Amino acid sequence: MQKKPELLAPAGNFEKMRMAILYGADAVYLGGKSFGLRALGGNFDREELREAVTYAHEHGKKVYVTVNIFPHNADLASLPDYLLYLNKIHVDALLVADLGVFSFCRTWIPNMEIHISTQANNTNWATVNAWKDLGAKRVVLAREMSMEEIRTIRKKCDVDLELFVHGAMCISYSGRCLLSNYFTGRDSNRGNCAQSCRWKYSLVEETRPGKYFPIEEDERGTYIMNSKDMCLLSYLSDVIETGVNSLKIEGRMKSIHYVASVVRTYRSAIDAYYKDPAHFTVRQEWIEELGKVSHRPYTTGFYFHKPTEKDQLYGNSSYEQSSDFVGLVLAYDTTSGYATVEQRNNMKVGQKIEFFQPHGELFHQTLADMRDEDGASIDIAPHPQQIIRIHMEHPVEPYTILRRNLTIGL
């Protein structure tokens, strides 16, 4: 049997990175304050990068840093110093898209492991082998490929392959988009995407300014470039059997709830497959778990067929979810049975709350005894990020997520 593939998770900030690691990721990818393609994702300053690497390594996990912008001349002046710093703090690998940046890496930090970003449009075995010959350790495959094409690349290429399995889909080829530049002046290829593809569009005829015609016959207009989100959980055995080395989750700008839920779901599924491949089935609770986080309806993208209108969302750009993230356990006192919780949304006595743990079983409890920081009994936690104490019917792990089911009106 082939080696179990790495589960690679997004980390937009330190809190998200910690949750990804605690909920089962083997590695995380993240960006510094420059040279990455998610400038609005929070990201890490230099000291935070050092702390992130230390934390991950203490937990036996890896950190990959994105250096995947398409730089202009002015961007190159500070690049060597940044690369030397990443090497100094022992980052495990860099994600690179531009050949010039790749060349800088080989010159300034020749022993650093380099992964080629999906932004480089890696759609065939010749390209993959070319990057390997230049010294790349891994190539991230483009999302505009079929499973059959991926199998062919695996047969013809002796290099690590990374594959997106879950998250948002970009309307532009491998994410190389100019819409954001055109409408807002924010360069998506240098880290400042405004997500213009998610906006609502209508048609305007030149001689009739101000008169808007819906591109579809719908009075609301149409979101003509708004893709559904990718989800390959139902086809996990097919994905693993392609022989790829790393399964990647998109979402550095998503919430800690999203990161924890998606990571633990894929962790559970991957481990179940390797426990008994011949009898592996996708469990309904895994499918339901992915519905609890904020997401667009799911699609398999290009992997099993060329996308059609069924893979787009023309009517709106809204997200859906079946659960609300309401709190995060900071600590649990085994003597008193109280959990210290940071409130993230409205909670009140009498609500049925779901406790989603990093490792333990999911369970439900109706809130009956809730107290403020001074120990006074309270019926509701009204203040954002208020610290409260909840008496637990069962022990609970630190960094457990508290959720309220939205489908039953609680």
**Which CATH number is 111's domain given?**
3.20.20.70
Do 376 and 251 lie in one domain? The reply is: no
Residue 182 lies in a domain: no
Residue pair 202/222 in contact (Cβ under 8 Å)? The answer is yes
Give the distance from CA 56 to its chain's centroid: 17
Do 127 and 161 lie in one domain? The reply is: yes
Residue 151 lies in a domain: yes
Burial of 385 (0-12, 13-18, 19+ CB in 10 A): exposed
Do 88 and 165 lie in one domain? The reply is: yes
Do 331 and 284 lie in one domain? The reply is: no
| pLDDT at site 180 | 61
Work out the pLDDT band at 219, boundaries 50, 70, 90.
Answer: very low
Work out the pLDDT band at 221, boundaries 50, 70, 90.
Answer: very low
| Rounded Cα distance, 206 and 399, in Å | 56
Do 355 and 238 lie in one domain? The reply is: no
Do 60 and 126 lie in one domain? The reply is: yes
| pLDDT at site 218 | 46
Q: Higher-confidence residue: 366 or 228?
A: 366
Boundary-marking domain end, from 243, 277, 311? 311
Residue 209 lies in a domain: no
pLDDT, average across residues 383-389: 90
pLDDT digits (tens, 9 = 90+) for 13-40: 999 999 999 999 999 999 998 886 655 5
In what helix (H) or strand (E) does residue 213 lie, and over which residues does it extend?
A: strand 212-213
Residue 216 lies in a domain: no
Residue 52: name the closest of 38, 97, 61 by CA.
61
Residue 205 lies in a domain: no
For the CA atoms of 358, 360, 361, 366, the dihedral, rounded to the nearest 10 degrees, stands at: -80
Do 34 and 127 lie in one domain? The reply is: yes
Residue pair 117/99 in contact (Cβ under 8 Å)? The answer is no
Residue 320 tokens read as 């859906």
Do 247 and 396 lie in one domain? The reply is: no
Work out the pLDDT band at 209, boundaries 50, 70, 90.
Answer: confident
Residue 184 lies in a domain: no
| pLDDT at site 296 | 72
In Å, how far are 198, 200, 369 from 215, measured between CA atoms? 15, 11, 54
Do 291 and 353 lie in one domain? The reply is: no
| Rounded Cα distance, 326 and 274, in Å | 34
Burial of 372 (0-12, 13-18, 19+ CB in 10 A): middle
Residue 158 lies in a domain: yes
Do 251 and 351 lie in one domain? The reply is: no
Q: Phi and psi (nearest 5°) for 170?
A: -85, 140
| pLDDT at site 196 | 67
The DSSP string of 58-116 is: HTT-EEEEEE-----GGGGTTHHHHHHHHHHTT-SEEEE--HHHHHHHHHH-TTS-EEE
Burial of 35 (0-12, 13-18, 19+ CB in 10 A): buried
Do 230 and 375 lie in one domain? The reply is: no
DSSP 407: T
pLDDT, average across residues 224-238: 81
Boundary-marking domain end, from 311, 336, 362? 311
Number of domains in the chain: 2
Domain harbouring 384, CATH code: 2.40.30.10
Residue pair 10/250 in contact (Cβ under 8 Å)? The answer is yes
pLDDT digits (tens, 9 = 90+) for 94-112: 999 999 999 999 999 999 9
| Rounded Cα distance, 343 and 376, in Å | 16
Domain residues for the domain of 379 are 323-405
SS3 120: helix
Percent of the chain with pLDDT over 70: 81
What's the one-letter identity of residue 220? R
DSSP 321: -
pLDDT digits (tens, 9 = 90+) for 291-340: 898 777 777 677 776 665 554 554 555 567 788 899 999 999 999 999 99
Boundary-marking domain end, from 311, 334, 366? 311
> Which residues are within 8 A (CB) of 368 and not within 5 positions of it... i.e. 6 or more apart?
349, 350, 391
Residue 213 lies in a domain: no
Work out the pLDDT band at 80, boundaries 50, 70, 90.
Answer: very high
Percent of the chain with pLDDT over 90: 64
Do 261 and 377 lie in one domain? The reply is: no
| Rounded Cα distance, 58 and 70, in Å | 33
